[in-house]
Amino acid sequence: MTRFWLIKLVRTVITLWFVVTFAFIVLRTSGDPVVALLGADAMPDEIEHFRELWGLDRSLFAQYVSYVGQMATGQFGNSLRDSRPVLEIILERLPATAQLGLAAFIIAAIIGIPAGIVAALRRGRLTDRIVMVFAVFGFALPNFFLGILLILLFSLYLQILPSSGTGTFLHLLMPSVTLATFTAGTLARFTRSAMLEVLEKPYMRAASARGVPFWQRVLFHALPNAAIPIVTVIGLNLGQLVAGAIVIESVFAWPGIGRLLVVAVSQRDLAVVQGLVLVIAVTMVLANLIVDLLYGLLDPRIREGAK
Protein backbone atom coordinates (compact mmCIF):
# COMPACT_ATOMS: atom_id res chain seq x y z
CA MET A 1 0.00 0.00 0.00
CA THR A 2 2.65 2.54 1.07
CA ARG A 3 4.80 1.29 -1.79
CA PHE A 4 2.04 2.14 -4.26
CA TRP A 5 1.79 5.74 -3.05
CA LEU A 6 5.58 6.04 -2.90
CA ILE A 7 6.13 4.94 -6.52
CA LYS A 8 3.48 7.37 -7.72
CA LEU A 9 5.08 10.19 -5.71
CA VAL A 10 8.59 9.54 -7.05
CA ARG A 11 7.26 9.42 -10.63
CA THR A 12 5.52 12.75 -10.09
CA VAL A 13 8.67 14.41 -8.75
CA ILE A 14 10.69 13.10 -11.72
CA THR A 15 8.13 14.43 -14.21
CA LEU A 16 8.17 17.86 -12.52
CA TRP A 17 11.96 17.86 -12.67
CA PHE A 18 11.74 17.03 -16.39
CA VAL A 19 9.37 19.95 -16.94
CA VAL A 20 11.66 22.48 -15.24
CA THR A 21 14.69 21.09 -17.06
CA PHE A 22 12.84 21.32 -20.36
CA ALA A 23 12.05 24.99 -19.64
CA PHE A 24 15.71 25.65 -18.73
CA ILE A 25 17.03 23.99 -21.90
CA VAL A 26 14.58 25.92 -24.09
CA LEU A 27 15.48 29.17 -22.36
CA ARG A 28 19.24 28.68 -22.68
CA THR A 29 19.30 27.34 -26.25
CA SER A 30 16.96 29.91 -27.77
CA GLY A 31 19.20 32.94 -27.25
CA ASP A 32 20.37 35.35 -24.55
CA PRO A 33 18.18 34.85 -21.46
CA VAL A 34 18.67 38.54 -20.55
CA VAL A 35 17.08 39.60 -23.83
CA ALA A 36 14.51 36.82 -23.57
CA LEU A 37 13.24 37.73 -20.12
CA LEU A 38 14.00 41.45 -19.79
CA GLY A 39 13.54 42.59 -23.38
CA ALA A 40 16.05 44.16 -25.76
CA ASP A 41 15.70 47.63 -24.23
CA ALA A 42 16.40 46.78 -20.59
CA MET A 43 18.31 49.24 -18.35
CA PRO A 44 21.99 48.43 -17.62
CA ASP A 45 21.43 48.21 -13.84
CA GLU A 46 18.42 45.97 -14.45
CA ILE A 47 20.61 43.67 -16.57
CA GLU A 48 23.30 43.69 -13.89
CA HIS A 49 20.77 42.74 -11.23
CA PHE A 50 19.36 39.98 -13.44
CA ARG A 51 22.82 38.55 -14.18
CA GLU A 52 23.54 38.38 -10.48
CA LEU A 53 20.18 36.89 -9.58
CA TRP A 54 20.46 34.20 -12.25
CA GLY A 55 24.21 33.72 -11.76
CA LEU A 56 24.91 34.13 -15.46
CA ASP A 57 28.62 34.61 -14.73
CA ARG A 58 28.78 31.21 -13.05
CA SER A 59 28.93 27.74 -14.60
CA LEU A 60 25.96 26.34 -16.51
CA PHE A 61 25.34 23.80 -13.78
CA ALA A 62 25.29 26.49 -11.07
CA GLN A 63 22.87 28.47 -13.23
CA TYR A 64 20.69 25.39 -13.59
CA VAL A 65 20.60 24.85 -9.83
CA SER A 66 19.65 28.44 -9.15
CA TYR A 67 17.05 28.30 -11.94
CA VAL A 68 15.36 25.25 -10.43
CA GLY A 69 15.38 27.00 -7.06
CA GLN A 70 13.75 30.13 -8.46
CA MET A 71 11.09 28.26 -10.39
CA ALA A 72 10.30 26.08 -7.39
CA THR A 73 9.60 29.22 -5.32
CA GLY A 74 7.47 30.83 -8.02
CA GLN A 75 9.93 33.59 -9.01
CA PHE A 76 9.09 33.69 -12.70
CA GLY A 77 10.25 37.28 -13.27
CA ASN A 78 8.24 40.19 -14.63
CA SER A 79 6.05 40.58 -17.67
CA LEU A 80 7.57 42.59 -20.52
CA ARG A 81 4.31 44.34 -21.15
CA ASP A 82 3.49 45.91 -17.82
CA SER A 83 6.50 44.76 -15.73
CA ARG A 84 4.25 43.22 -13.10
CA PRO A 85 5.38 39.94 -11.50
CA VAL A 86 4.34 37.01 -13.69
CA LEU A 87 2.99 35.00 -10.77
CA GLU A 88 0.65 37.85 -9.82
CA ILE A 89 -0.74 38.05 -13.38
CA ILE A 90 -1.25 34.30 -13.54
CA LEU A 91 -3.02 34.13 -10.17
CA GLU A 92 -5.31 36.93 -11.29
CA ARG A 93 -6.36 34.99 -14.40
CA LEU A 94 -6.54 31.51 -12.85
CA PRO A 95 -10.08 31.73 -11.36
CA ALA A 96 -11.67 32.42 -14.77
CA THR A 97 -10.06 29.33 -16.28
CA ALA A 98 -10.92 27.21 -13.26
CA GLN A 99 -14.54 28.32 -13.55
CA LEU A 100 -14.67 27.52 -17.26
CA GLY A 101 -12.92 24.15 -16.85
CA LEU A 102 -15.14 23.09 -13.97
CA ALA A 103 -18.33 24.08 -15.78
CA ALA A 104 -17.19 22.21 -18.91
CA PHE A 105 -16.27 19.16 -16.88
CA ILE A 106 -19.65 19.06 -15.14
CA ILE A 107 -21.50 19.45 -18.46
CA ALA A 108 -19.38 16.71 -20.04
CA ALA A 109 -20.03 14.32 -17.15
CA ILE A 110 -23.78 15.05 -17.03
CA ILE A 111 -24.11 14.40 -20.77
CA GLY A 112 -21.38 11.85 -21.46
CA ILE A 113 -21.80 9.30 -18.67
CA PRO A 114 -25.62 8.84 -18.89
CA ALA A 115 -25.40 8.79 -22.70
CA GLY A 116 -22.80 6.03 -22.50
CA ILE A 117 -24.91 4.02 -20.03
CA VAL A 118 -28.03 4.34 -22.17
CA ALA A 119 -26.10 3.39 -25.32
CA ALA A 120 -24.75 0.27 -23.60
CA LEU A 121 -28.21 -0.74 -22.35
CA ARG A 122 -29.71 -0.27 -25.82
CA ARG A 123 -26.77 -1.84 -27.61
CA GLY A 124 -27.21 -2.02 -31.40
CA ARG A 125 -30.53 -0.16 -31.22
CA LEU A 126 -31.26 3.25 -32.71
CA THR A 127 -30.50 5.06 -29.42
CA ASP A 128 -27.06 3.48 -29.35
CA ARG A 129 -26.38 4.51 -32.94
CA ILE A 130 -27.44 8.11 -32.30
CA VAL A 131 -25.28 8.40 -29.18
CA MET A 132 -22.26 7.00 -31.00
CA VAL A 133 -22.74 9.32 -33.98
CA PHE A 134 -22.77 12.30 -31.62
CA ALA A 135 -19.71 10.96 -29.83
CA VAL A 136 -17.76 10.75 -33.11
CA PHE A 137 -18.90 14.26 -34.03
CA GLY A 138 -17.73 15.58 -30.67
CA PHE A 139 -14.42 13.90 -31.34
CA ALA A 140 -13.84 15.25 -34.85
CA LEU A 141 -15.44 18.69 -34.70
CA PRO A 142 -12.70 21.29 -34.20
CA ASN A 143 -13.61 23.15 -31.00
CA PHE A 144 -12.78 26.57 -32.45
CA PHE A 145 -15.13 25.90 -35.37
CA LEU A 146 -17.91 24.79 -33.03
CA GLY A 147 -17.37 28.01 -31.07
CA ILE A 148 -17.66 30.09 -34.25
CA LEU A 149 -20.84 28.25 -35.28
CA LEU A 150 -22.40 28.83 -31.85
CA ILE A 151 -21.52 32.53 -32.02
CA LEU A 152 -23.07 32.75 -35.49
CA LEU A 153 -26.25 31.03 -34.35
CA PHE A 154 -26.84 32.35 -30.83
CA SER A 155 -25.14 35.74 -30.85
CA LEU A 156 -25.53 37.01 -34.40
CA TYR A 157 -28.64 35.25 -35.73
CA LEU A 158 -30.83 34.63 -32.69
CA GLN A 159 -29.11 37.30 -30.59
CA ILE A 160 -29.83 35.61 -27.27
CA LEU A 161 -26.30 34.97 -25.97
CA PRO A 162 -23.28 37.27 -25.63
CA SER A 163 -20.44 36.33 -28.01
CA SER A 164 -17.59 37.23 -25.69
CA GLY A 165 -16.62 38.38 -22.25
CA THR A 166 -17.50 37.21 -18.78
CA GLY A 167 -19.65 38.09 -15.80
CA THR A 168 -22.98 36.32 -16.00
CA PHE A 169 -24.15 32.75 -16.33
CA LEU A 170 -25.08 33.48 -19.93
CA HIS A 171 -21.48 34.40 -20.72
CA LEU A 172 -20.32 31.06 -19.35
CA LEU A 173 -22.78 28.98 -21.38
CA MET A 174 -21.27 28.90 -24.89
CA PRO A 175 -17.57 28.59 -23.91
CA SER A 176 -18.23 25.79 -21.44
CA VAL A 177 -20.48 23.84 -23.82
CA THR A 178 -17.86 24.19 -26.56
CA LEU A 179 -15.12 23.01 -24.22
CA ALA A 180 -17.27 20.13 -22.96
CA THR A 181 -18.06 18.60 -26.37
CA PHE A 182 -14.87 16.64 -26.86
CA THR A 183 -14.79 15.32 -23.29
CA ALA A 184 -18.47 14.41 -23.42
CA GLY A 185 -17.88 12.39 -26.61
CA THR A 186 -14.92 10.55 -25.14
CA LEU A 187 -16.75 9.89 -21.87
CA ALA A 188 -19.77 8.50 -23.72
CA ARG A 189 -17.60 6.09 -25.73
CA PHE A 190 -15.66 4.85 -22.74
CA THR A 191 -18.67 4.58 -20.45
CA ARG A 192 -20.43 2.54 -23.12
CA SER A 193 -17.60 0.06 -23.59
CA ALA A 194 -16.95 -0.21 -19.83
CA MET A 195 -20.65 -0.84 -19.17
CA LEU A 196 -20.91 -3.42 -21.98
CA GLU A 197 -18.12 -5.39 -20.40
CA VAL A 198 -19.67 -5.29 -16.93
CA LEU A 199 -23.22 -6.06 -18.06
CA GLU A 200 -22.13 -9.48 -19.30
CA LYS A 201 -20.57 -10.48 -15.96
CA PRO A 202 -22.17 -13.41 -14.05
CA TYR A 203 -22.92 -11.24 -10.99
CA MET A 204 -25.25 -9.16 -13.12
CA ARG A 205 -27.22 -12.28 -14.05
CA ALA A 206 -27.17 -13.30 -10.41
CA ALA A 207 -28.57 -9.93 -9.35
CA SER A 208 -31.26 -10.22 -11.97
CA ALA A 209 -32.10 -13.76 -10.77
CA ARG A 210 -32.42 -12.46 -7.22
CA GLY A 211 -35.04 -10.04 -8.50
CA VAL A 212 -33.10 -6.82 -8.02
CA PRO A 213 -34.99 -4.11 -9.96
CA PHE A 214 -33.49 -3.06 -13.30
CA TRP A 215 -32.32 0.48 -12.43
CA GLN A 216 -30.94 -0.66 -9.10
CA ARG A 217 -28.89 -3.29 -10.97
CA VAL A 218 -27.57 -0.69 -13.38
CA LEU A 219 -26.76 1.98 -10.80
CA PHE A 220 -25.54 -0.07 -7.84
CA HIS A 221 -24.17 -3.24 -9.41
CA ALA A 222 -22.90 -2.29 -12.86
CA LEU A 223 -21.85 1.35 -12.59
CA PRO A 224 -19.43 1.04 -9.64
CA ASN A 225 -17.64 -1.79 -11.46
CA ALA A 226 -17.39 0.28 -14.62
CA ALA A 227 -16.00 3.25 -12.67
CA ILE A 228 -12.29 2.42 -13.10
CA PRO A 229 -12.02 2.95 -16.86
CA ILE A 230 -14.26 6.01 -16.59
CA VAL A 231 -12.00 7.60 -13.96
CA THR A 232 -8.97 6.83 -16.16
CA VAL A 233 -10.53 8.65 -19.08
CA ILE A 234 -11.33 11.62 -16.90
CA GLY A 235 -7.65 11.72 -15.91
CA LEU A 236 -6.48 11.46 -19.50
CA ASN A 237 -8.93 14.16 -20.53
CA LEU A 238 -7.58 16.79 -18.15
CA GLY A 239 -4.93 17.51 -20.76
CA GLN A 240 -7.63 17.81 -23.40
CA LEU A 241 -9.53 20.30 -21.24
CA VAL A 242 -6.39 22.41 -20.76
CA ALA A 243 -5.51 22.29 -24.46
CA GLY A 244 -9.12 23.11 -25.34
CA ALA A 245 -9.22 26.04 -22.92
CA ILE A 246 -6.19 27.62 -24.64
CA VAL A 247 -8.10 27.75 -27.92
CA ILE A 248 -11.62 28.38 -26.64
CA GLU A 249 -10.72 31.24 -24.32
CA SER A 250 -9.36 32.99 -27.40
CA VAL A 251 -12.55 32.36 -29.39
CA PHE A 252 -14.81 33.83 -26.68
CA ALA A 253 -12.35 36.41 -25.31
CA TRP A 254 -12.57 34.66 -21.94
CA PRO A 255 -10.05 36.32 -19.60
CA GLY A 256 -8.32 33.16 -18.33
CA ILE A 257 -4.79 31.80 -18.50
CA GLY A 258 -5.38 30.21 -21.92
CA ARG A 259 -6.05 33.59 -23.50
CA LEU A 260 -3.10 34.99 -21.53
CA LEU A 261 -0.82 32.30 -22.95
CA VAL A 262 -1.85 32.92 -26.57
CA VAL A 263 -1.36 36.68 -26.21
CA ALA A 264 2.00 36.17 -24.46
CA VAL A 265 3.21 33.81 -27.20
CA SER A 266 2.21 36.17 -30.00
CA GLN A 267 3.89 39.12 -28.24
CA ARG A 268 6.84 36.92 -27.26
CA ASP A 269 6.43 37.95 -23.62
CA LEU A 270 8.70 35.07 -22.66
CA ALA A 271 8.68 35.46 -18.88
CA VAL A 272 4.89 35.07 -18.92
CA VAL A 273 5.04 32.10 -21.31
CA GLN A 274 7.59 30.36 -19.13
CA GLY A 275 5.67 30.99 -15.92
CA LEU A 276 2.40 29.82 -17.45
CA VAL A 277 3.88 26.65 -18.91
CA LEU A 278 5.37 25.73 -15.54
CA VAL A 279 2.16 26.50 -13.62
CA ILE A 280 -0.02 24.55 -16.08
CA ALA A 281 2.41 21.63 -16.20
CA VAL A 282 2.63 21.38 -12.41
CA THR A 283 -1.16 21.58 -12.07
CA MET A 284 -1.61 18.82 -14.63
CA VAL A 285 1.01 16.53 -13.17
CA LEU A 286 -0.50 16.94 -9.69
CA ALA A 287 -4.01 16.36 -11.06
CA ASN A 288 -2.80 13.16 -12.68
CA LEU A 289 -1.29 12.08 -9.38
CA ILE A 290 -4.66 12.61 -7.70
CA VAL A 291 -6.39 10.56 -10.40
CA ASP A 292 -3.82 7.79 -9.94
CA LEU A 293 -4.41 7.77 -6.21
CA LEU A 294 -8.17 7.78 -6.70
CA TYR A 295 -7.69 4.80 -8.94
CA GLY A 296 -5.93 2.94 -6.15
CA LEU A 297 -8.74 3.78 -3.76
CA LEU A 298 -11.42 2.57 -6.17
CA ASP A 299 -9.76 -0.72 -6.98
CA PRO A 300 -7.75 -2.51 -4.29
CA ARG A 301 -6.33 -4.86 -6.94
CA ILE A 302 -4.33 -2.00 -8.47
CA ARG A 303 -2.50 -1.03 -5.30
CA GLU A 304 -1.96 -4.70 -4.41
CA GLY A 305 -0.50 -5.20 -7.91
CA ALA A 306 2.15 -2.58 -7.24
CA LYS A 307 3.71 -4.68 -4.49
60 versus 286: smaller Cβ distance to another protein: 286
Site membership for another protein, residue 63 (CB under 8 A): no
Question: Binding to another protein (CB under 8 A): which residues in 118-177?
Answer: 136-137, 139-145, 148-149, 151-152, 156
Which residue(s) pair with 78 in the sheet? Answer: 85
d(CA 146, CA 251): 10
Bridge-partner residues for 85, per DSSP? Answer: 78
Contact between 189 and another protein per CB under 8 A? yes
Distance, CA of 119 to CA of 123 (rounded, Å)? 6
- How far apart are alpha carbons 173 and 235 in whole angstroms? 24
For the beta carbon of residue 18, count every other beta carbon within 10 angstroms. 12
Helices of type H across the chain: 2-29, 33-38, 44-54, 60-72, 86-121, 126-140, 143-150, 169-199, 202-209, 214-216, 223-251, 257-267, 270-298, 300-305
Say whether residue 78 binds another protein (CB under 8 A). Answer: no
CB of 213 to another protein, least distance (A): 29
Least distance in angstroms from the C-beta of 239 to another protein = 4
Distance in Å, CB of 242 to another protein, minimum: 5
282: nearest Cα among 98, 27, 18: 18
Instruction: Write down the least CB distance from residue 216 to another protein, Å.
Output: 27
The Cα–Cα gap between 200 and 123 comes to: 12
Binding positions for another protein, 212-271, rule CB under 8 A: 236, 239-240, 242-243, 246-247, 250-251, 261-262, 264-266, 268, 270
| Between 66 and 193, CB nearer to another protein | 193
Q: How many residues bind another protein (CB under 8 A)?
A: 54
Tell which one of 24, 105, 190, 254 touches another protein (CB under 8 A): 190
Nearest distance, CB of residue 127 and another protein, angstroms: 18
Q: Phi, psi at residue 213, to the nearest 5°?
A: -60, 155
- Shorter beta-carbon distance to another protein: residue 222 or 271: 271
- HSE at residue 125, side-chain half, CA atoms within 13 A, is 7
Would you say 265 or 293 has its CB closer to another protein?
Answer: 265
Distance from C-alpha of 233 to C-alpha of 197, rounded to nearest angstrom: 16
| Site residues (CB under 8 A) for another protein, limited to 2-61 | 11, 14-15, 18-19, 22-23, 26-27, 30-31, 36
Least separation in angstroms between residue 236's CB and another protein is 8
Tell me if 188 sits within 8 A of 134, measured CB to CB.
yes
* CB-nearer residue toward another protein: 1 or 136: 136
Q: What are phi and psi of 42, to 5 degrees?
A: -75, 150
Residues near another protein (CB under 8 A) are 11, 14-15, 18-19, 22-23, 26-27, 30-31, 36, 136-137, 139-145, 148-149, 151-152, 156, 189-190, 193, 197, 236, 239-240, 242-243, 246-247, 250-251, 261-262, 264-266, 268, 270, 273-274, 277, 280-281, 284-285, 288
